[in-house]
């Protein structure tokens, strides 16, 4: 009997698992909610900065148009070719620098305003002049190259674009006409210096994307986490994970602005970690409680459960008789001892009933066996008498020898299985006697493909062979009778597979019908109980594992066929009493 956990313990474990599951779900949801809240807060804050930045770019665009369209006289006064030695233009250049200073002051000196003339390669800033022969910083060299490229292409309108030099990214604006350009330039470090997205330990970055290129300030470019995410930033406009998130905003002047937020090291995450530690402590407490419950179960509930299971399981009587049932609970041990005594008394009564029923079945088997023996013996005696009258002394001697072997085998104990080779030899003696009675009427053959150490219930095969000789022969026709024996294995064990077939007239439909209904066969108005008795003996000896199939061959010209599937028996002292199912 399969042991099952006590319902109370199952309920306790189920309640604990349910509590832990709910806490785990709440913790995961809290973690997700915290990160989502931080992301939404920082994203909204970054969105406000982005709108301000976009408005600033639009304002600068208008400023550059004013510088180029409404105040061109200063630039137009500069000749197309000028050198540092032409001192008469110093006053003009100073006016232009002062003009740039006034513009930069409006924008808190974040942006550097410039004027550039193509032919003279002159760049004027708020603090410095750079002639074609002047040594320029790297970012001004890059700016000069970008502006000259735009003039060469004849670009119209205001151009906003990025470039990178010496590890820093810059944004510049430019508007040009007739080889003269005005504009402004700012490093992204300076541009984003007033933007503070980071809050409560969560970090935010504004990253510009234009024509598949990424531009950011020095902090973003130096962060390994940001650099690893750049390919994904280019491929996707939006993503949210447990560790990072970003959104993309359209900025008509400068391309796209991506707001990247890292969600790993915030204050709220630390709070969640504290919650996780609290849950871990709770789980530890639960484990201690489970250990105590398990100890209670093993020391008290399990012995009680074992005691109750044995009371319920009537098939474990032998366990009650032999087991000492040592128990840590004195009351249960005392009750077990009382029940063992009771079961011993019940077992004694059951043995007495079992032996009585076994004796009755043995009598039934002996009666069925005795019905098989006398008929053929009397016929043989009649044949011996006839042959003696005809003075066939040699045949009489031979027949008496065979008959003697036959009767020795028959009168042995019919309840003990015999070697299959002895059973085959007995059938051959029987067929030898029948050949003397019916010469030339049939041929008998045995094909055995299994070891002859197996044992079989005696006189089972003879019944079917005898039926063929008695009822299956066709007058004037030669009949072949074959016994085929082999072994087979199935999931239920090893079996003997025996086929008895002949080329005679086979069974009639009425005979097959009565066999199927487990009734004796009728021939010429008389009942023949040989097959019926044999089926009963096989069933009583082997139980449900044995199988007998009786029928006729499907092809014309072939007679009866009997298939027997019997469990293999190899024990020498295996008797019927052990195999009868009560």
Q: What is the Cα–Cα distance from 320 to 352, expressed in whole angstroms? A: 19
Contact 124, 100 (CB under 8 A): yes
Residues 325-350: b if buried by 16+ CB within 10 A, e if exposed? bebeeeebeeebeeebeebeeeeeee
Does 304 score more than 80 pLDDT?
Answer: no
Tokens of 550: 């009786």
- The mean pLDDT value of the chain amounts to 77
Query: What would the mean pLDDT of 541-556 be, rounded to a whole number?
Result: 84
SS3 366: helix
Q: What is the Cα–Cα distance from 483 to 464, expressed in whole angstroms? A: 10
Does 85 score more than 70 pLDDT?
Answer: yes
The model scores a pTM over 0.85: no
Does 227 score more than 90 pLDDT?
Answer: no
Q: DSSP assignment, residue 556? A: T
Does 576 score more than 80 pLDDT?
Answer: no
N residues, the chain: 582
pLDDT digits (tens, 9 = 90+) for 332-381: 666 677 777 777 777 777 777 877 677 566 656 655 555 555 556 656 66
Reported confidence tier of residue 2, pLDDT bands at 50, 70, 90: very low
Query: What would the mean pLDDT of 34-58 be, rounded to a whole number?
Result: 74
SS3 522: strand
Rounded alpha-carbon distances, angstroms, from residue 70 to 56, 64, 75, 332, 565 = 20, 10, 12, 110, 115
Beta strand 479-490 pairing with 442-448 = parallel
Contact 193, 220 (CB under 8 A): no
Burial class (CB in 10 A: 0-12, 13-18, 19+), 93: middle
Pick the closest to residue 132 from 93, 168, 172, 81 (CA basis): 81
Rounded alpha-carbon distances, angstroms, from residue 250 to 192, 239, 559 = 18, 16, 95
Q: What is the pLDDT of residue 3?
A: 45
Most confidently modeled range among 47-61, 68-82, 394-408: 47-61
Does 325 score more than 60 pLDDT?
Answer: no
Q: What is the Cα–Cα distance from 446 to 420, expressed in whole angstroms? A: 12
Q: What is the Cα–Cα distance from 532 to 521, expressed in whole angstroms? A: 8
Q: What is the pLDDT of residue 267?
A: 57
Q: Residue 77's CB: how many other CB atoms inside 10 A?
A: 11
- DSSP β-bridge partners for residue 3: none
Does 394 score more than 70 pLDDT?
Answer: no
Instruction: Look at 484 and 268; give whichever has higher pLDDT.
Output: 484
pLDDT digits (tens, 9 = 90+) for 230-282: 888 888 888 877 678 788 888 778 888 888 878 766 555 566 667 677 777 77
Contact 293, 12 (CB under 8 A): yes
Sorted by where each begins, the domain ranges of the chain are: 11-262, 314-350, 353-578
Tokens of 331: 């009351």
Does 483 score more than 90 pLDDT?
Answer: yes
Which positions ≥6 away from 129 have C-beta within 8 Å?
84, 93, 97, 122, 123
Does 35 score more than 80 pLDDT?
Answer: no
Fold of 353-578: Heat Shock Protein 90 (3.30.565)
pLDDT digits (tens, 9 = 90+) for 166-204: 889 999 999 988 888 889 999 988 888 777 776 656 777
């Amino acid at each position: 009997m399969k042991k099952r956990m006590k319902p109370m313990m199952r309920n306790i474990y189920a309640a604990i698992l349910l509590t832990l599951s709910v806490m785990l779900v709440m913790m995961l949801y809290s973690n997700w909610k915290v990160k989502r809240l931080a992301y939404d807060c920082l994203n909204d804050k970054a969105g406000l900065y982005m709108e301000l930045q976009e408005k600033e770019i639009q304002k600068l665009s208008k400023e550059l148009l004013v510088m180029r369209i409404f105040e061109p006289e200063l630039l137009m006064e500069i000749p197309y070719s000028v050198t540092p030695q032409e001192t008469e233009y110093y006053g003009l250049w100073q006016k232009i620098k002062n003009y740039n200073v006034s513009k930069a002051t409006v924008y808190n000196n974040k942006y550097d305003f410039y004027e550039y003339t193509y032919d003279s390669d002159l760049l004027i800033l708020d603090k410095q002049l750079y002639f074609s022969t002047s040594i320029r910083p790297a970012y001004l060299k890059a700016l000069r190259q970008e502006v000259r490229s735009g003039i060469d292409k004849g670009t119209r309108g205001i151009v906003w674009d990025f470039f990178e030099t010496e590890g820093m990214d810059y944004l510049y604006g430019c508007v040009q006409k007739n080889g003269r350009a005005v504009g402004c330039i700012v490093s992204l470090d300076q541009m984003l210096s007033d933007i503070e997205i980071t809050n409560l330990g969560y970090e935010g970055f504004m990253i510009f994307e234009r024509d598949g290129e990424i531009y950011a300030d020095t902090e973003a470019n130096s962060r390994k986490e940001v650099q690893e995410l750049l390919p994904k930033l280019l491929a996707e406009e939006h993503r949210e994970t447990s560790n990072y998130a970003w959104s993309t905003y359209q900025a008509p002047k400068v391309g796209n602005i991506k707001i990247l937020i890292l969600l790993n090291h915030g204050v709220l995450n630390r709070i969640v970690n504290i919650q996780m530690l609290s849950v871990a402590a709770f789980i530890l407490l639960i484990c201690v409680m489970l250990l105590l419950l398990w100890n209670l179960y093993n020391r008290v509930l399990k012995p009680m459960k074992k005691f109750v299971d044995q009371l319920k399981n009537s098939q474990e009587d032998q366990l009650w008789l032999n087991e000492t049932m040592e128990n840590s609970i004195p009351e249960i041990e005392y009750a077990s001892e009382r029940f063992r005594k009771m079961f011993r008394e019940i077992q004694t009564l059951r043995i007495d009933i079992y032996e009585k029923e076994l004796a009755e079945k043995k009598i039934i088997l002996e009666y069925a066996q005795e019905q098989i023996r006398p008929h053929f013996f009397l016929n043989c005696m009649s044949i011996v008498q006839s042959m003696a009258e005809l003075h066939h002394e040699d045949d009489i001697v031979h027949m008496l020898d065979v008959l003697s072997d036959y009767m020795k085998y028959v009168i042995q104990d019919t309840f003990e299985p015999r070697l299959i080779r002895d059973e085959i030899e007995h059938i051959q003696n029987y067929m030898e006697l029948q050949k003397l009675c019916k010469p030339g009427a049939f041929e008998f053959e045995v094909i055995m493909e299994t070891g002859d150490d197996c044992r079989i219930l005696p006189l089972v095969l003879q019944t079917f062979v005898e039926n063929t000789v008695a009822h299956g022969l066709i007058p004037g026709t030669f009949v072949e009778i074959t016994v085929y024996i082999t072994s087979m294995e199935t999931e239920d064990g090893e079996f003997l597979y025996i086929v008895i077939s002949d080329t005679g007239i086979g069974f009639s439909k009425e005979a097959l019908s009565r066999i199927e209904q487990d009734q004796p066969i009728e021939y010429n108005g008389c009942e023949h109980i040989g097959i019926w008795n044999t089926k009963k003996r096989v069933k009583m000896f082997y139980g449900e594992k044995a199988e007998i199939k009786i029928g006729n061959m499907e092809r014309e010209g072939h007679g009866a066929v009997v298939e027997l599937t019997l469990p293999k028996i190899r024990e020498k002292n295996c008797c019927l009493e052990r195999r009868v199912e009560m």
